[in-house]
């Protein structure tokens, strides 16, 4: 078992039930290799991903670099490229899962994975082998990148969802014909919209004008205003803009064996790309 260099402190939970909840794209940031410097399991996952990338793409890697290099040197904008984002986040999650389960001896009573996070969630539950999980992260990133070349898409997150947010959503035309759709509700107070890049940016600007007009509002009224952010991903995921990606990814999934979980635990996964 590898030794830890500068251990990340994850306390042993005092509660009876533990859930591993693994997010999807958007959590990447420049300098992520700092995590590999602290946790050997993450460094190992990066190295294994690099090996799989070399098998698939040769020494050139992904756009001139392997995942370890992207994790160390990639800018925020470069890391938003799904060919980089997805294998990087999958490898990071796999390394953290190994650290939590093998070093901290914490096991999950249930696992949940949002979107891309479904792959490491299946690994955490024992249904996917480590190598297969890392490979699928690479393949999914390439498939969604290829699909997004057809239409440049983006996503916008509306957090702190209140009746004011709903009124705004009701006032705009949502649907494929308008180039923007309500993609997913992440939680009771967060909605994600996906659509063509220029449409998403228009809607972001509308929200910003609304927020600037809030200067005369009371504190209570301002509290009801949503938080708005264009997500750090390049693609309109969970929408019509990913048409074709699911079929291509299913082709990659079919030959990979899915095992029963290591024990009977529930999985919560979002199946759409």
- Extents of the domains making up the chain: 19-148+246-269, 153-233
The tally of CA atoms less than 13 A away on the side-chain side of residue 35 is: 21
Answer with the residue of higher pLDDT: 272 or 63.
Answer: 63
The C-alpha atoms of residue 94 and residue 100 are separated, in whole angstroms, by 10
180-189, 195-204, 214-223 — which is least confidently predicted?
214-223
pLDDT tens for each residue of 120-151: 999 999 999 999 999 999 999 999 999 999 88
Is 54:112 a contact under the CB 8 Å cutoff? no
Across 170-192, average pLDDT: 80
- Percent of the chain exceeding pLDDT 70 equals 83
What pLDDT is stored for residue 215 in this prediction? 64
Exposure string of 32-47, with b = 16+ CB inside 10 Å and e = fewer, is bbebbeebbbbbbbbe
pLDDT over 50 (residue 153): yes
With a cut of 80, say whether residue 174 has pLDDT above it.
no
User: Does the pLDDT at position 38 exceed 50?
Assistant: yes
The pLDDT value recorded for residue 1 is: 45
Round the CA-based radius of gyration of the chain to a whole number and report it.
20
pLDDT at 61 over 70: yes
The yes or no reply on domain 19-148+246-269 and CATH 3.40.50.1980 is no
The DSSP 8-state label assigned to residue 225 in this structure reads S
pLDDT tier for residue 166 given thresholds of 50, 70 and 90: low
Rounded distance between C-alpha atoms, residue 124 and residue 122, angstroms: 5
Whether pLDDT at 270 is above 70: no
**Beta carbons within 8 Å of 251's beta carbon, 6+ residues apart:** none
How far is the C-alpha of 127 from the C-alpha of 77, rounded, in Å? 33
Pair of tokens at residue 207: 């929200």
**What pLDDT sits at residue 14?**
67
19-148+246-269 shares its CATH topology with 153-233? no
Which residue in this structure is represented by tokens 């040769």?
58
pLDDT at residue 188 above 80? no
The tens digit of pLDDT for each residue in 1-18 reads: 444 455 565 666 666 788
Nearest alpha-carbon partner for 121 in 139, 136, 106, 133: 133
- In this structure, are residues 110 and 268 in contact, taking their beta carbons and an 8 Å threshold? yes
CATH of domain 153-233: 3.30.70.250
Task: Tell me what pLDDT residue 10 has.
Answer: 62
Residues 94 and 241: their CA atoms lie apart, in Å, by 28
Mark out the alpha helices in 125-175 (DSSP H runs): 130-148, 163-171
The number of angstroms, rounded, from the C-alpha of 151 to the middle of its chain's C-alpha atoms is 20
Q: Which residues have CB under 8 Å from 91's CB, separation 6+?
A: 42, 45, 46, 48, 49, 67, 134, 137
Report the pLDDT averaged over residues 166-172: 66
Residues 81, 76: Cα–Cα separation, whole Å: 9
Residue 17 neighbours by CB distance under 10 Å: 8
What number is the average pLDDT over the span 64-83? Answer: 94
């Amino acid at each position: 078992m590898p030794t830890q260099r500068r251990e990340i402190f994850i306390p042993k939970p005092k509660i009876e039930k533990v859930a591993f909840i693994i997010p999807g794209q958007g959590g990447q940031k420049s300098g992520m290799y700092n995590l590999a410097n602290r946790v050997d399991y993450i460094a190992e996952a990066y190295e294994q991903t690099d090996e799989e990338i070399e098998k698939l793409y040769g020494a050139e890697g992904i756009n001139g670099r392997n995942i370890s290099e992207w994790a160390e040197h990639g800018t925020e904008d470069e890391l938003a490229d799904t060919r980089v984002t997805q294998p990087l986040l999958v490898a990071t999650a796999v390394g953290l899962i190994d650290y939590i389960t093998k070093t901290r001896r914490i096991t999950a009573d249930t696992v949940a994975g949002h979107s891309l996070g479904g792959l490491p969630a299946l690994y955490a539950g024992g249904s996917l082998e480590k190598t297969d999980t890392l490979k699928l992260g690479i393949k999914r990133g390439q498939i969604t990148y290829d699909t997004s070349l057809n239409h440049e898409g983006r996503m916008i997150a509306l957090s702190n969802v209140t009746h004011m947010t709903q009124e705004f959503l009701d006032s705009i035309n949502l649907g494929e014909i308008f180039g923007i759709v309500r993609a997913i509700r992440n939680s009771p107070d967060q909605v994600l919209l996906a659509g063509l890049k220029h449409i998403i940016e228009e809607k972001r600007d509308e929200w910003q004008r609304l927020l600037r007009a809030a200067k005369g509002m009371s504190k209570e009224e301002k509290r009801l205003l949503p938080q708005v952010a264009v997500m750090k991903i390049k693609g309109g995921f969970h929408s019509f803009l990913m048409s074709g990606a699911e079929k291509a990814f299913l082709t990659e999934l079919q030959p990979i064996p899915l095992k029963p979980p290591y024990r009977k635990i529930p999985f919560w996964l979002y199946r759409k790309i």
